[in-house]
Structure 1
Amino acid sequence: MPQPEKILDPSHSPEAWFGHELRLRRKEAGYKTAAPFAAKVQVSVDVLLKIEKGDYRCPEDLPPRLDTVLETGGLFSRAWAMVFSDADRKRRDADTRSPRPLEGGVQQSTGRMLEGGAPSSSTRSPDPLYRRQFLVLGSLLALDPLDLTALLSPTPPPPVPEKISTREIRQLQQIAAGLHSWDNTYGGGGLIGQLATDSMQWAIRLLSVPCPSSQRPDFLGAVARLGLVAGASQFDVYRHDDARLAFKVAVECAEEGQHWHLRAKGYSFLARQAIWVGDADDGLTNAEKGLVRSDRLTASERAMLHAARARAFGKMRNVQQTIAAVGAADDAFAQRRPEDEPPWMAYYDDAQHNGDTAHALWDLAVGIDDYDPAQAGQRFTAAVRGHGPGFERSKAMSCTKLASLVMRRGDPREAAAIGRKAVALGGGLTSLRAADDLRQLGQFASRHPKIHEVAELKEEIGATLRP
């Protein structure tokens, strides 16, 4: 009696992910059993089954034959290069690095806010972030807007065409869409950050290529969109100069192409970045630039920019102006009609609006003792409840800020319970912003060293963050 097939877990290891994809595509191609397919690709049945089960690494010479027989357009060749050669490089780097002592003797957990090292062998299960990045890689390869292996390779960069065509415009749009989704889910570090940087460099090189006048508005719009999402990824991991350049390229392209919605988003990002690095006045200026000719903007875009103004005023501890800007954001958002919004503004829903305005009120609540923290707390709570799959970073950051607010102004034990949820939500992200929010929560927790639950939370935060 034939044995049932082993159930594959593609998140277990690089080999498991590769094997899962191979079995799936073999069966989709009509090879229901392994033997005829093994003969086609010139390997033994035993070797093929071991590769599919994740028990054996695919030999380097096999992927081209897999691509030919399965007609995948080079998928497995790119996957092998991106998965196994990168894992080998990480192991070699790890071997040459001396171990670093842990802070305060705190034992590190497997879930980390920042990227950890690769597993040392195929039998060792990677940490949660490592597993999640292999799942992201599957999406990268499925998108296949251009040769992503070349785009991610440090040398040489992808070639530029003699003139811009619909192909380049489509590629820019697809990369932007993929980056936007992956960045919101996993943060801007690791493979995602590298793709953001390399794709933006490629886009800037394309700007010097001749483009037919009939296609130039679409081309400029595609570059602007990529600049926004690449800049957001770079901002998330504190590559501020790169992020600022990407945002400014996006704004300039949007203005030249008369894409007023993209222009507004660009100024919103410039405002948020300036506020984050401590220049609230510059942040306010950028937010108000974005609101110029607000009649051309959608309700969500106006709400987004008024929320940025509120965050700037909050950093300045200007209570009256902060509350007025939050009110203007609420008024604009109340007029929102999702069907009128551009695709990249679909994220700005009730959860996002509550989170953005709560951040502005948070600065008042933690910085001014006689300011009532209730509004900020209610909005953060609504944001945490409202953020769905695909917005893990936003959910984690709102949860962390809520925990910090309660730790500072409310019941430390309640804050510890919220904080543990925040650690669980953010433990697999590659976001430096989310990491710093957790670090700040740990500082607030330090004020209550005698409360057992708070002390446990502080240890958990220390174990989650890279020393």
Structure 2
Amino acid sequence: MSREPNTRLADLFVLTGWSKGELARLVNRRGAAMGQLQLSTDTSRVRRWIEQGEIPRDPVPRVLAAVFTERLGRVVTTEDLGLERHRPTRSGADASAAVPWSPDRTAAVLTEFTGMDLMLNRRGLVGAGAALTAGAVIADSLKGWLGGDAVAYAASVPGPRQAVAGGGAHPAADVYDAGPVGLDEVESLEHSVQVFRAWDAARGGGLQRKAVVGQLNEVGGLLTHRHAPAVEQRLWLVAANLAVLAGWMSHDVGLEPTAQKYFMIAADSAKEAGDRPRAGEAISRAARQMVHLGRADEALDLMSAAKAAGGRLLPRTRAMLNTVEAWAHASIGHSQDTYRLLGEAEDLFTEEAPEPPPSWMQVFDEAELRGMQALVLRTLSEHDPGAAPEARRHAERVITLREGTGQLRSALFDRITLASVHLLTGEPDAARFQAKMVMNLIGQNSSHRTWDRLREMYRLTAQYRGLPVVDELREELGRALRAADAKNRRRLT
């Protein structure tokens, strides 16, 4: 038994506002609800967990994770609470003798995290209360991952970066154990990824996020069983694809720490599948998230890790990564780097590939390329006005390309980009036309990011105060943004 305090548990305990006696009673009550009638936790035991680092026996860590998750309104795992033990792996070997971040450990974290996320959904709670892990911390932790050494699970929340030493956590919520599957079932799961991806592109991530997390939880359960190598490899890739979608949908509705954790789970799952390009793309999603949140320097750290993780990449994949890196540079005002990366992306996109792109790259078509070019150059225009004409050209082109595709969220982004460019180039009437089109459609999607981009456009209208056409637009935008903010506050309380 450790005599060192469990600082992770102590920090989270302070956030709850509970007394030690209250926590003891909650553990007993929740345990009874889970069928664990034998629990008899008292104040002295809680004190030993916190002050002496004592780790209680199962199922107490899982019960604690559940009560902390409910109290804090975000996913809290047994690892977050500092209550992990070494456990046997699927093969029966002791985890301490295994590779520090084994497939068993990846499957366990995946299953536990999704289970807790689903529990929050069932209770109408959200997972937005934690802090993001710094991009440099994630990038640094991935160095060992790339070399096959011990992996620091950098996306753990809360607390600093930590090394994981094997073992597997039991799920903290009820999980249906489906048992091993065959190729037919895997093909059905692969098809479900395509369906979820289309849903996300059409209306944003808010409406389908729970379904994706539930499917990912199921796949995590499947991965705790032994399968033929070909089946297991494809299951890991399904897990990676679903985790990217879960992360992107979480980001789309403002659950940023949850999104970041899913992106890291996706990278680990892709590594288990032996698909390094997929791992690199997953990390690039975390970089895009950082740019959106105004942390471009950290995004550049993550992009370095994404390119290193990806290994040998197809030209189109490299083009996609270049656009993300260019966006980070544009946010800082690095004109030369931005133009260089966009130029390379253009050339790479048209380069002949030795093989077809994987399914997860097929979404990066010409419209996606032009949309990213428009966004990057619109961002750069605030530092370098000379970028605006080209931003406008790409924005107008992508609006044409997306007509009739049903990709509402992307279409909204494109028009917000074009309206912003018009404001930056002294064309308020044209900006108003695009903004009106956005306002007519924005209520049909569940993406919070569209409102974030609209808020950025609203900021640009300030220079035109006093013009009747802009004052009217500002009033309409202001009302809509206040209503959206009020709705979001109700969601978080």
> TM-score, normalised on structure 2?
0.59
The reply on whether 1:424 has 2:440 as its aligned counterpart is: yes
* Greater RCO (CA < 8 Å, at least 6 residues apart): 1
1:294 to partner: Cα distance = 6.7
Please give the residue correspondences for 1:113-262 in structure 2 after superposition, counting only pairs within 5 Å.
Answer: 154=122, 159-166=176-183, 169-189=186-206, 191-262=207-278
Q: 1:202 to 1:243 in 2, by over 3 A?
A: farther
Contact preservation (8 Å) 1:196, 1:234: no
Greater CA drift, 338-347 or 177-186: 338-347
2:256 is equivalent to residue 288 of structure 1: no
The alpha carbon displacement at 1:171 in A equals: 4.6
Please give the per-residue CA displacement for 1:71-123, whole angstroms capped at 9, x wherever unaligned.
xxxxxxxxxxxxxxxxxxxxxxxxxxxxxxxxxxxxxxxxxxxxxxxxxxxxx
Unaligned runs of 5+ in 1: 1-149
Map of 1:379 onto structure 2: 394
What is the CA–CA distance in structure 1 between the aligned matches of 2:446 and 2:247, rounded to whole Å? 15
Counterparts of 1:320-339 in structure 2, within 5 Å, are 320-335=336-351
Partner of 1:258: helix, strand, or coil? coil
Q: Check whether the contact 2:236–2:270 (CA below 8 A) recurs between aligned residues.
A: yes
Percent identical:
25
Q: Which whole-Å CA distance do the structure 2 matches of 1:338 and 1:296 have between them?
A: 12
SS of the equivalent of 2:205 reads coil
Which letter does structure 1 place at the counterpart of 2:477? I
Distance in 2 of aligned mates of 1:421 and 1:185: 17
State the match for 1:127 in structure 2: none
CA contact (8 A) 2:179 2:222 kept: no
Return closer, same or farther for 1:382/1:339 CA change in 2, 3 Å cut-off.
Answer: farther
The answer for the alignment partner of 1:394 in structure 2 is 410
> 1:420 & 1:354 partners in 2: Cα distance?
22
State whether residues 316 and 348 of structure 2, in contact with CA within 8 Å, keep that contact through their aligned partners in structure 1. yes
Count of residue pairs the alignment pairs up: 316
Q: Which residue of 1 aligns with 2:161?
A: none
CA distance in 2, matches of 1:372, 1:341: 31
Q: Aligned letter for 1:359?
A: L
What is the Cα deviation at residue 200 of structure 1? 3.2
Distance of aligned partners of 1:187 and 1:152 in 2 relative to their CA distance in 1, 3 Å threshold? same
Is the 2:278–2:310 contact (alpha carbons within 8 Å) kept by the matching residues of 1?
Answer: no
Runs of 4+ in 1 over 6 A off after TM superposition: 150-153
RMSD: 2.7
Q: Is residue 205–residue 252 contact of structure 2 (8 Å, CA) maintained in 1?
A: yes
Residue identity in the other structure for 2:237: G
Deviations 1:223-242 (A, max 9, x none): 11111112111111111122
Task: Specify the alignment match of 2:32 in structure 1.
Answer: none
1:337-376 aligned within 5 A: 340-368=356-384, 370-376=385-391
Give the direction of change, closer, same or farther, for the CA distance of 1:338–1:395 in structure 2 (3 Å limit).
Answer: farther
The 3-state SS of whatever aligns with 1:291 is helix
**Unaligned ranges ≥5, structure 2:** 1-117, 124-172, 487-493
CA distance in structure 1 between the aligned counterparts of 2:121 and 2:452, rounded to whole angstroms: 30
- Secondary structure of the corresponding residue to residue 278 of structure 1: coil
Match of 1:317 in 2: 333
**Matches of 2:211 and 2:191, distance apart in 1:** 13
Q: Which amino acid aligns with 1:345?
A: M
Give secondary structure in 2 for the equivalent of 1:351: helix
Given candidates 448, 473, 477, the residue that maps to 1:457 is 473
Letter in 2 for 1:161: A
Q: Give deviations 1:283-327, integer Å, cap 9, x for gaps.
A: 223323333387732222111001111011112211111111111
Q: In 1, are the aligned partners of 2:315 and 2:353 still within 8 Å (CA)?
A: yes
8 Å contact kept, 2:378–2:420: no
Quick one: structure 1 residues 262 and 151, their matched pair in 2 at CA, closer, same or farther if it must change by over 3 Å? Answer: farther
Shift of 1:354: 1.1
